Structure 1
Amino acid sequence: MNTIPSVNLKDFLSEDPIKKQNFVDAIGKAYEEIGFVALKGHFLDDALVDNLYKEVKNFFSLPTETKQKYEIPGIGGQRGYVSFGKESAKGKKEGDLKEFWHFGQYVENDDKLKEEYPDNVIVDELKEFNDVGKETYRMLEKTAKYVLRALALHLGIEETYFDNYIYNGNSILRPIHYPPITQEPDEAVRAAAHGDINLITLLMGAQGKGLQVQNHKGEWIDAIAEADELMINVGDMLSRHTNNKLKSTIHRVVNPPKELWGTSRYSIPFFMHPISEMKLDVLEGCIDENNPKAFEDITAGEFLNERLIELGLIKK
């Protein structure tokens, strides 16, 4: 597969059983073959997207010392600001050429999870930033719920299987700023080749070249969304849970051609995580003679902690 398939969530949400099944088949096939789809018909409207980008650009334009007020020690970068070059891909010593922000879950009706998750960080200088971030988080979480329902049907399990695991889940909305490149990078790229940790990732801002996906032949292909599309990919948790039936594809963000070094790039992924207690044990329906169980049993919380250590965001 050398292109990213496009699907429309409105087909799944329609009352038409044929359209719904066609959506399930198309997204299932794409995630088995390349692990990415471009999705139309999501719950983000244009005004919300415009407001979010405006607020994100306002935040990253603040003075460095102002932004650093919001870099919270001891939480592995899970909320607030993470400064330029702080994160590196698994196995890479060079830091990625980016700075970013994290909005986390807005917990409802669960005091235990309120204790477990760090509080969201409020930016005093930008009153709209916090509200727009929260609304975007909610709409992407809602979109992700229906994508996971379609995948549950594709896997032959109950449609709402994932619902209880993702309600109050440990999901993250990450606005990223890739600043202009001012000198020849020493081995560093905007985001080195990596797989995502989580169940699925919903990416805003994949218009234009930069994001690349590695197909099964090892070739890098450009993943470019239309203006009204989200790019959505399988993460390692879901790949593990399905015994690699659904593919967590390696992807990267390459540096632009030299004539575009003076430009910023912004992208905004939403990392859909379940609650920490979710067992990622391989689903029985994904094991057979040709596909024996490939992974040890582990919870989502244990898996996340392992990966944050590998990324250098928390210390052992």
Structure 2
Amino acid sequence: MPIEMNAQTRIPTLDIARFTHPTSPEDRDAFVAELGSAYREWGFAGIRNHGIPQDQIDRAYDVFQRFFAQSDETKRKYHVAGGGGARGYTPFGVETAKGAQYHDLKEFWHIGREIPRDHHCADVMQANLWPDEIPEFREVGYGLYQSLDTLGAQVLSALALHIGLPENYFVDKTNYGNSILRPIHYPPITTPDIPNVRAGAHEDINLITLLVGASAAGLEVKSRTGEWVPFTSDADTIVVNIGDMLQRLTNHVYPSTTHRVVNPPGELARQPRYSTPFFLHPNPDFLIDVLDSCVTDENPSRYPEAITAQGYLEERLREIKLK
């Protein structure tokens, strides 16, 4: 089956059922090759037939929108001062893309992995907060977290095979990863000629990001030639992109591509936008050290020193003004 190309974007969309429920070993191998090629070129791809029911996604968006519709006073009850935005609510006007002059035009909530409070990573992985005003928020939000975590593991398995690693290479490196589900609300833009954009040009910090059900256009991906390419996926497609941690681990074999969320033109700017990315992280104590299989004479190691995932995360959170 050929790769589908979104006519608007040229960024590939692939059917992951060819990997999870293949019709033949040859088709599974072909999927791995096509997925790896897409990520080497773009750092982005669309994933369809992912197995997450649309009604689950719709219910999650309904719950998230109802939270963001609460009063500012109510939402700020769940802001953890000094917490780096790790859990709970982060107000509008806080996060700023690395190197950007202006803050992003968004507010968001963070759901993290549920771990026992006596777990050895509990000191760097805070307990979740849940809004009392919406009782089903926990069940629905964490249910989507778990579904995206499972899908992310499938994508990582295929990417591992593409670079000559065992299919299960990432399993024990992400099983208590500090992954984050981030429901985002971009409010209507009512001030003309505002210098801020909804999300400034940036690369993600983590291994891979899975974006489910963005409610409006605006996502743009920077090509290798410097062109900004719109990527508005179909309703049944989840956008998955490479983050800086995987770029570093693979010595840039898989590039972490710059992307942004631009402000829509005219009256469309007066409509809110909602999106929900899932940032899949490795375990906090995982050592990000360039893989031998990704070092060649043509691509010598770019990172002579290793760094833990937690150390890298804290460094980047300071850069984007969450710490």
> Is the pair's TM-score, using the shorter chain for normalization, greater than 0.5?
yes
Amino acid at match of 2:17: K
1 CA distance for matches of 2:29 and 2:118?
35
Structure 2 stretches lacking a partner, 5+ long:
none
SS of 1:103's equivalent?
A: strand
Shift of 1:41: 1.7
2 CA distance for matches of 1:118 and 1:132?
20
The answer to whether residue 320 in structure 2 is matched with residue 308 in structure 1 is no
SS of 1:39's equivalent?
A: strand
The answer to whether residue 258 in structure 2 is matched with residue 250 in structure 1 is yes
Alignment of 1:45-56 (within 5 A): 45-56=53-64
- Corresponding residue number in structure 1 for 2:41: 33
CA deviations 1:79-116 (Å, max 9, x no partner) are 00000011000001311000000000112696212343
Shift of 1:253: 0.2
- Corresponding residue number in structure 2 for 1:122: 130
Segments of 4+ moved more than 4 angstroms: none
Number of equivalent positions: 314
The answer to whether residue 11 in structure 2 is matched with residue 4 in structure 1 is yes
The answer to whether residue 167 in structure 2 is matched with residue 159 in structure 1 is yes
Alignment of 1:70-149 (within 5 A): 70-107=78-115, 111-149=119-157
Amino acid at match of 2:60: L
2 CA distance for matches of 1:207 and 1:129?
19
1 CA distance for matches of 2:117 and 2:215?
37
The answer to whether residue 230 in structure 2 is matched with residue 217 in structure 1 is no
Amino acid at match of 1:7: L
The answer to whether the 8 Å contact 1:191/1:253 transfers is yes
The answer to whether residue 176 in structure 2 is matched with residue 168 in structure 1 is yes
The answer to whether the 8 Å contact 1:207/1:226 transfers is no
CA deviations 1:229-287 (Å, max 9, x no partner) are 00000000000100000010000000000221210000000000011111111100111
The answer to whether the 8 Å contact 2:216/2:274 transfers is no
1 CA distance for matches of 2:143 and 2:206?
21
Shift of 1:163: 0.5
2 CA distance for matches of 1:297 and 1:216?
27
2 CA distance for matches of 1:292 and 1:110?
41
CA deviations 1:112-131 (Å, max 9, x no partner) are 12343111001100011111
Amino acid at match of 1:24: V
The answer to whether residue 205 in structure 2 is matched with residue 187 in structure 1 is no
1 CA distance for matches of 2:194 and 2:269?
14
Q: Which moved more, 1:254-263 or 1:194-203?
A: 254-263
Shift of 1:29: 0.2
SS of 2:105's equivalent?
A: coil
* Percentage of pairs with the same residue: 46
The answer to whether the 8 Å contact 1:206/1:230 transfers is no
Aligned CA-pair RMSD: 1.4
TM-score, with length taken from structure 1: 0.96
TM-score, with length taken from structure 2: 0.94
- Corresponding residue number in structure 2 for 1:268: 276
Amino acid at match of 1:6: T
Residues 194 and 119 of structure 1: is their aligned pair in 2 closer, same or farther, counting only changes over 3 Å?
same
Amino acid at match of 2:11: I
1 CA distance for matches of 2:199 and 2:213?
14
Shift of 1:20: 1.1
2 CA distance for matches of 1:82 and 1:184?
25
SS of 2:276's equivalent?
A: strand
2 CA distance for matches of 1:18 and 1:28?
15
